């Protein structure tokens, strides 16, 4: 198999895969390349390949799309391997939200932290690591790029178990920056920013237009427009977000990527009055819209597949990419292939001193230079001490989560759940795990109690 190949494992991703195929077909860098679409659902892989062929024809691109159900058939000689898997699919995500809710635990997303993030890691980390082990054997020079959540835990699993070159990508910081620039009335291309932290809780350290410090302007806009605990629910992002504004006041820096994600990291935003269990149909801090968006996203998968089947058959218009993630992957791959360096706003990779007051083994989100030498994370120095304390505790919890997932260790899994700020006690942690085992079935059976 030629090294001019890109392998996408989890090709049934209904948003990412069409965006990736469209963006690849728009780049002359990949003329003559083959895109291998791998999914355990053969019909999904075949449908995506047919959509890809239509896209390539429409755009005059010399791209070949090949469906697979066995990733080992697709991997030999690959230059790039991308993972977008979802073990358990939409139902799995729903269980990650619904099981903790039985115990009064509301989550706005539940795919990275919170008990839902832990449960998702217990399913995803072993599978992502298994993929990486195949990459190490069959395509040892490949760059692996993971999108699957929990992104931090998945990348950490790969880095601690394999020699594979891996990063995680998330468009959250990019979206936050563009929204803030729009709110300030500044063209996005004029704004320079430095973000650093963990995925889904990444902090804006510096914001400038040329030599002009834009942080005072941002603080003023937030103070003028942001609501508080009783803010009315809205699904729009921007400087009006109540949780992000409160975190700016508390920790001195603005977080990304929006309240829907960052709220899951803090128990005080997702509790009722006086710390009582939350009403997940009436969340405070303007968070109900974010939770509703998550549940709507979980439920929309079947509608998206109907559209994709029509696109594959030629009875519906082809997709036009508006997927920032796919666009970033293509830009990164172009830079590596051509050797033309560019700076990425945020990638997720091993810390190793890039953020000096976080654990060295933690997977952190920092800027990077991408080019012929690969993806090189940039050193940003220490974070403010309060932020570092929050992120260190979370990184240490995620390390326990990863080890639980890799070892199939029930005791560690209970610890990982109990250490989450949203979980009130070890007893509740154990009950959540037992209910999740019943809901998810065989994929979590190894965590079943032996008593």
Domains annotated for the chain, with CATH where assigned, are 5-168+303-322 (3.90.1820.10), 203-291 (no CATH)
Answer whether the bond into residue 150 is a cis peptide, omega within 30°: yes
Cβ pair 249, 223 in contact under 8 A: no
DSSP H helices, 162-315, are 172-183, 215-225, 242-251, 259-262, 288-299, 301-313
Q: How far apart are CA 239 and CA 215, in angstroms?
A: 12
Cβ pair 323, 307 in contact under 8 A: no
Hey, what are 70's tokens? 């066995």
Burial category of 78 from C-beta neighbours within 10 Å (exposed 0-12, middle 13-18, buried 19 and up) = buried
Of 315, 439, 326, 344, nearest in space to 13 by CA: 326
DSSP 271: S
Residues in the chain with pLDDT < 50?
1
| Extended strands (E) in 84-224 | 143-146, 165-168, 192-198, 201-209, 212-213
b/e code 347-384 from CB counts within 10 Å (16+ = b): bbbbbeebbeebeeebbbbbbbbbbeeebebeebeebe
Other CB atoms within 10 A of residue 230 CB = 9
CA distances from residue 330 to 28, 48, 161, 236, 370 in whole angstroms, order as listed? 11, 18, 27, 28, 12
Q: Between vectors from CA 169 to CA 331 and to CA 369, what angle results, nearest 5°?
A: 55
pLDDT of residue 311: 86
Other CB atoms within 10 A of residue 291 CB = 24
Q: How far apart are CA 442 and CA 446, in angstroms?
A: 8
Q: Is 165 helix (H, G, I), strand (E, B) or coil?
A: strand
24 phi and psi angles, rounded to 5 deg: -65, -40
DSSP 379: P
Cβ pair 253, 201 in contact under 8 A: no
């Amino acid at each position: 198999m030629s090294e001019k190949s890109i392998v996408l494992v989890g090709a049934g991703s209904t948003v990412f895969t069409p965006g990736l195929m469209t963006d690849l077909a728009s780049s002359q860098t990949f003329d003559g390349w083959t895109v291998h679409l791998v999914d355990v659902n053969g019909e999904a892989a075949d449908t995506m390949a047919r959509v890809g062929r239509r896209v390539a024809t429409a755009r005059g691109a010399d791209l070949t799309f090949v469906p697979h159900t066995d990733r080992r058939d697709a991997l030999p000689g690959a230059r790039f391997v991308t993972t977008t898997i979802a073990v358990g699919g939409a139902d799995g995500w729903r269980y990650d939200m619904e099981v903790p809710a039985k115990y009064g635990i509301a989550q706005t997303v539940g795919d990275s932290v919170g008990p839902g993030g832990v449960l998702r890691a217990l399913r995803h980390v072993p599978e992502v690591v298994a993929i990486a082990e195949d990459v190490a054997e069959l395509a040892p020079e490949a760059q692996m790029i993971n999108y699957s959540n929990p992104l931090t835990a998945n990348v950490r699993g790969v880095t601690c178990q394999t020699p594979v070159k891996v990063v995680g990508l998330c468009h959250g910081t990019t979206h936050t920056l563009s929204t803030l620039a729009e709110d300030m009335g500044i063209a996005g291309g004029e704004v320079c920013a430095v973000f650093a932290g963990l995925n889904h809780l990444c902090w804006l350290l510096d914001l400038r237009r040329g030599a002009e410090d834009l942080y005072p302007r941002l603080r003023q806009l937030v103070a003028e427009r942001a609501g508080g605990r009783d803010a009315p629910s809205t699904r729009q992002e921007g400087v009006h977000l109540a949780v992000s504004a409160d975190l700016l006041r508390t920790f001195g820096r603005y977080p990304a990527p929006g309240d829907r994600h960052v709220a899951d990291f803090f128990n005080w935003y997702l509790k009722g009055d006086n710390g009582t269990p939350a009403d997940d149909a009436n969340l405070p801090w303007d968070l109900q819209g974010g939770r509703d968006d998550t549940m709507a996203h979980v439920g929309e998968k079947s509608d998206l597949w109907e559209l994709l089947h029509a696109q594959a058959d030629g009875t519906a218009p082809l997709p036009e990419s508006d997927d920032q993630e796919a666009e970033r992957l293509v830009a990164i791959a172009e830079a590596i292939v051509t050797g033309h360096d560019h700076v990425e706003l945020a990638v997720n990779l091993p810390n190793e001193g890039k953020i000096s007051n976080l654990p060295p083994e933690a997977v952190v989100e920092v800027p990077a230079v991408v080019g012929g030498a690969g993806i090189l994370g940039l050193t940003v120095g220490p974070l403010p001490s309060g932020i570092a304390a929050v992120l260190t505790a979370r990184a240490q919890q995620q390390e326990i989560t990863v080890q639980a997932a890799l070892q199939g260790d029930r005791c560690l899994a209970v610890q990982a759940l109990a250490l989450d700020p949203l979980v009130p006690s070890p007893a509740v942690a154990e009950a959540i795990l037992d209910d999740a085992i019943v809901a998810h079935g065989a994929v979590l059976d190894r965590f079943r109690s032996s008593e």
